[in-house]
C-alpha cells in the first residue's frame, strides 16, 4: 500500500493542480464577464 501510494502521488498532484488552475481561471472569467455586464 505505502509503496504504491509513494509511486503515484506525483501524477495525481499534477492532475489536481491542473484541474484546480482551470477551475480558478473559469471562475475568474465568469466573474469578469458578469462584472462587465453590470458595468456596461
Domain of residue 31 covers 2-39
Q: Which residue has the higher pLDDT, 19 or 5?
A: 19
Write out the three cell numbers for 22. Answer: 482551470
Tens of pLDDT, residue by residue over 26-38, are 999 999 999 999 8
Write out the three cell numbers for 12. Answer: 495525481
Q: What share of the chain is helix, strand, coil (3-state, %, to 5)?
A: 90, 0, 10
Percent of the chain exceeding pLDDT 70 equals 78
Give the chain's domain count: 1
pTM passes above 0.75: no
7-11 mean pLDDT: 65
Mean pLDDT, the chain, whole residue set: 82
11-27 mean pLDDT: 89
Which pairs count as long-range contacts for 20-25, CB under 8 Å and 24+ apart, including other chains? none
Amino acid at each position: 500500500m505505502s509503496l504504491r501510494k509513494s509511486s503515484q502521488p506525483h501524477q495525481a498532484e499534477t492532475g489536481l493542480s491542473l484541474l484546480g488552475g482551470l477551475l480558478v481561471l473559469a471562475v475568474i472569467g465568469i466573474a469578469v464577464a458578469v462584472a462587465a455586464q453590470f458595468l456596461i
